């Protein structure tokens, strides 16, 4: 069943519709729990598209095992997805900074309010992101410290490699996930892969995780895989940020999710015009690289990668 | 006048990214004026260029008080202005969402830190800023309703309006908010336009800053007459919203006084020219903001009245 959650007429002969697909369990008499899979808030992040498709396919194949409602929202920002634009085109707005929205506000705020109203009340929500076009991320769940007690136990069933509990920030109070968690609907933010691309193995990994989470919550009785035991980081000092010391072209030497020793070369920043190596980017600690630069051009300060320190991996 | 580089980073194939400031006087850090931070803020840049010209003259004529220092930074983002891109050229981030900045962080965090480390100790801070929607305003001063700035000081500009606005979560990363955290009295100046130069409202902004400087004793400046400001809260602005999307045709101008029921704008069907919607003044008042794009979306506050 496909339903329009929010809509608004555009200036010339087009209606903007935000749609969801609802998959209902067969013959349920009681009111079942609901899981919502949301993606596409940023129009340049596509990893969640495959997850929506593959999850629905596997559920439909074993429909008798479904004991809950599955709502799939593949495109929260259809105009952004269509125009390869991260924000909402024409408004130059990051859609993930306008929640909880406002039914009395402008078009974007109205859409946000209607979306939030529709998703609210789910037993759990997964908001799937794909980093951006500059960085590749290992499948991970990010949790605001304010909501960790409720969310970490759920995240551990999602088959991700890493759970990152980050500090609360006033700026993040206007995100979709914060608005839901603040209002009592648990929402897990998934980050994986890279913008404008689909990494099928990450998608498959997350689909296994979503089915595992549904099983844990009593919404799925089908076979599930034992989830990976994620590394959980909750101290700011667990993560080491690597920023470019110089503008140039970043050429990596290592792969994503590679274990590194202090001093190992992660890559070089080079100048193709002069032929000079501007910086040898070296690992400042022993650890594992969970974020790596994908887009080669860097400015001074551009993020090259993030390392999780060895001590955290061992816990 | 002393020209100084506030912040600089090397580009790969472009000239270095430089933020340039113009310093007047050698005394205590008294007033800092910041212009465009986004690539489309041409009017904000123009206003500052006119201020640099004026303060240079005042300095030559020894009309700046000897114990004050005034810093003007006309442009915090030459890279984006030169490529006509609103936000940072590579990653599309907004410098005005990165304050107070971080010297070891990402590029725009470093730029924000580079700027803020130079301007955080001034007694007063003025930023020429712009609205996220394309449109024209009645020139006014804005200040946040919780913070270090105050209405009495805001009225010293003698702008037609002083607007107190509610702090929102994203404000905590703006220059204005962080200035106040560091005990600078911060005010945002809105002139009528952003991506196009309006000389009249730019002149009004220059005059308002001279008036302010005279009032706090920073400069000697002769001006006659009273310039009272009307103080309002952003919650008092009356929004006139569209119900339809289409071609936007305004029937009145910003600053016009209108009676209740006056037709303000029409939304035209882009295919057959028929009027899909007429927007009327919900009450008697003055047009404070008017959308300026020829196309509009439904559910949009295209007009604000006071």
CA distance B304 to A39: 34
Mean pLDDT (whole number) for A279-292: 96
| pLDDT tens for chain B, residues 1 to 306 | 999 999 999 999 999 999 999 999 999 999 999 999 999 999 999 999 999 999 999 999 999 999 999 999 999 999 999 999 999 998 999 999 999 999 999 999 999 999 999 999 999 999 999 887 788 999 999 999 888 889 999 999 999 999 999 988 888 999 999 999 999 999 999 999 999 999 999 999 999 999 999 999 999 988 888 899 999 999 999 999 999 999 999 999 999 999 999 999 999 999 999 999 999 999 999 999 999 999 999 999 999 999
Q: Are residue A30 and residue A149 in the same domain, yes or no? A: yes
The answer to whether residues A291 and A221 touch, using CB atoms and an 8 Å cutoff, is no
Say what the pLDDT of residue A124 is.
98
Q: Are residue A85 and residue A209 in the same domain, yes or no? A: yes
Q: Are residue A210 and residue A250 in the same domain, yes or no? A: no
Cβ neighbours of B97 in A, within 8 Å? 171
Q: Are residue A243 and residue A111 in the same domain, yes or no? A: no
Q: Are residue A157 and residue A267 in the same domain, yes or no? A: no
Q: Which residue, of A176, A203, A233, is where some domain finishes? A: A233
pLDDT over 90 (residue A219): yes
Say what the pLDDT of residue A223 is.
94
Q: Are residue A83 and residue A173 in the same domain, yes or no? A: yes
Shortest CA gap A173–chain B (Å): 6
Tell me which residue has tokens 């300095």: B59
How many distinct structural domains can be found in chain A?
Answer: 2
What is the complex's ipTM, to 2 decimals?
Answer: 0.82
Supply the CATH number for residue A72's domain: 3.40.630.10
Nearest CA in chain A to B106: A301
Say what the pLDDT of residue B171 is.
87
Q: Are residue A187 and residue A288 in the same domain, yes or no? A: no
pLDDT over 60 (residue A64): yes
The answer to whether residues A284 and A262 touch, using CB atoms and an 8 Å cutoff, is yes
Asked if B10 lies within 8 A of A8 by C-beta distance, the reply is no
Q: Are residue A184 and residue A286 in the same domain, yes or no? A: no
Question: Which tokens is A61 given?
Answer: 């194949």
Q: Are residue A112 and residue A249 in the same domain, yes or no? A: no
Q: Are residue A104 and residue A155 in the same domain, yes or no? A: yes
Mean pLDDT (whole number) for A127-143: 96
pLDDT over 70 (residue A161): yes
Give backbone dihedrals phi and psi of B226, rounded to 5 degrees, phi first: -90, 150
DSSP class of residue A24?
Answer: P
The answer to whether residues B124 and A315 touch, using CB atoms and an 8 Å cutoff, is no
Q: Which residue, of A187, A214, A233, is where some domain finishes? A: A233
Give backbone dihedrals phi and psi of B127, rounded to 5 degrees, phi first: -120, 130
Cβ neighbours of B168 in A, within 8 Å? 174
Among B91, B92, B301, whose Cβ lies nearest the Cβ of A106? B301
Reported as a pLDDT band with limits 50, 70 and 90, residue A314 is low
Task: Please tell me if residue B134 touches chain A, with a CB cutoff of 8 Å.
Answer: no
More confident residue, B222 or A314: B222
Residue ranges of domains in chain B: 2-232, 237-305
Task: Please tell me if residue B104 touches chain A, with a CB cutoff of 8 Å.
Answer: yes
More confident residue, A236 or A265: A265
Q: Which domain, by its residues, includes A282? A: 236-314
Asked if B245 lies within 8 A of A9 by C-beta distance, the reply is yes
Tell how many helices (H) and how many strands (E) occur in chain B: 6, 18
CATH topology of domain B2-232: Aminopeptidase (3.40.630)
**B residues 161..180 contacting A (CB < 8 A):** 168-170, 172-173
Provide DSSP, B252-270.
S-TT-EE-TT-EEEEEE-T
pLDDT over 70 (residue A315): no
Cβ neighbours of B92 in A, within 8 Å? 86
Say what the pLDDT of residue A262 is.
97
Give pairs for B144-147: CB < 8 Å, separation 24+: B144/B171, B144/B176, B144/B177, B144/B180, B144/B186, B145/B233, B147/B177, B147/B180, B147/B186
Task: Please tell me if residue B67 touches chain A, with a CB cutoff of 8 Å.
Answer: no
Question: CATH: 1.10.1760.20, 2.40.50.100, 3.30.420.40, 3.30.365.10. Which one for B237-305?
Answer: 2.40.50.100
Cβ pairs bridging A and B (under 8 Å):
92
Q: Are residue A159 and residue A116 in the same domain, yes or no? A: yes
Q: Are residue A84 and residue A99 in the same domain, yes or no? A: yes
Supply the CATH number for residue A247's domain: 2.40.50.100
Q: Which residue, of A233, A259, A292, is where some domain finishes? A: A233
pLDDT over 80 (residue A282): yes
């Amino acid at each position: 069943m496909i339903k329009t959650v929010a809509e608004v007429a555009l200036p010339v002969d087009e209606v903007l519709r935000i749609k969801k697909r609802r998959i209902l369990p067969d013959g349920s008499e009681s009111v079942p729990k609901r899981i919502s899979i949301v993606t596409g808030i940023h129009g340049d992040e596509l990893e969640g598209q495959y997850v929506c498709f593959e999850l629905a396919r596997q559920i439909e194949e074993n429909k008798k095992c479904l004991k809950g409602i599955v709502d799939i929202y593949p495109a929260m920002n259809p105009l952004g997805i269509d125009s390869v634009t991260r924000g909402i085109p024409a408004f130059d707005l990051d859609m993930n900074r306008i929640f909880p929205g406002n039914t009395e506000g402008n078009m974007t705020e109205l859409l946000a309010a209607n979306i939030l109203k529709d998703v609210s009340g789910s037993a759990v929500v997964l908001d799937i992101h794909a980093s951006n076009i500059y960085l590749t991320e290992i499948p991970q769940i990010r949790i605001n410290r304010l909501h960790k007690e409720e969310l970490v136990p759920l995240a551990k069933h999602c088959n991700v490699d890493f759970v990152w509990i980050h500090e609360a920030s006033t700026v993040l109070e206007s995100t979709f996930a914060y608005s839901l968690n603040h209002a009592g609907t648990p929402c897990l933010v998934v980050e994986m892969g890279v913008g404008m691309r689909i990494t099928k193995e990450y998608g498959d990994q997350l689909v296994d995780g979503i089915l595992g989470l549904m099983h844990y919550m009593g919404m799925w009785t089908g076979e599930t895989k034992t989830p990976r035991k994620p590394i959980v980081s909750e101290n700011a000092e667990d993560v080491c940020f690597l920023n470019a010391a110089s503008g140039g072209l970043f050429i990596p030497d290592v792969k994503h999710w590679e274990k590194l020793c202090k001093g190992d070369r992660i890559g070089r920043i080079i100048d193709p015009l002069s032929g000079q190596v501007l910086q040898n980017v070296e690992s400042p600690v022993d650890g594992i690289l969970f974020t790596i630069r994908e887009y080669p051009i860097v400015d001074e300060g551009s993020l090259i990668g993030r390392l999780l320190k060895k001590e955290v991996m061992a816990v | 006048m002393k020209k100084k580089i506030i912040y600089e980073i090397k580009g790969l194939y472009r000239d270095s990214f430089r933020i340039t400031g113009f310093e007047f006087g050698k005394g205590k850090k008294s007033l800092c004026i910041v212009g465009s931070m986004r690539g489309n803020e041409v009017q904000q840049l123009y206003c500052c260029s006119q201020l640099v010209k004026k303060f240079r003259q005042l300095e030559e004529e020894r009309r700046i008080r000897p114990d004050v220092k005034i810093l003007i930074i006309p442009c915090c983002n030459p890279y984006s202005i030169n490529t006509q891109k609103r936000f940072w050229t590579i990653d599309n981030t907004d410098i005005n969402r990165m304050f107070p900045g971080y010297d070891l962080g990402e590029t725009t965090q470093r730029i924000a830190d580079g700027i803020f480390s130079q301007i955080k100790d001034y007694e007063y801070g003025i930023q020429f800023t712009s609205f996220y929607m394309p449109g024209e305003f009645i020139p006014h001063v804005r200040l946040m309703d919780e913070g270090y700035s105050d209405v009495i000081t805001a009225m010293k500009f003698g702008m037609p309006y002083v607007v107190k606005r509610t702090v929102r979560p994203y404000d905590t990363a703006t220059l204005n908010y962080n200035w106040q955290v560091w005990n600078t009295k911060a005010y945002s100046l809105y002139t009528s336009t952003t991506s196009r130069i309006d000389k009249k409202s730019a002149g009004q902004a220059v005059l308002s800053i001279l008036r302010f400087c005279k009032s706090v004793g920073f400069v000697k400046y002769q001006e006659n007459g009273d310039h009272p400001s009307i103080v309002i809260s952003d919650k008092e602005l009356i929004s006139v919203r569209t119900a339809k999307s289409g071609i936007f045709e305004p029937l009145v101008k910003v600053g016009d006084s209108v009676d209740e029921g006056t037709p303000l704008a029409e939304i035209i069907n882009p295919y057959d020219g028929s009027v899909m919607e007429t927007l009327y003044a919900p009450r008697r008042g003055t047009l404070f903001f008017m959308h300026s794009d020829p196309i509009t979306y439904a559910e949009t506050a295209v007009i604000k009245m006071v």
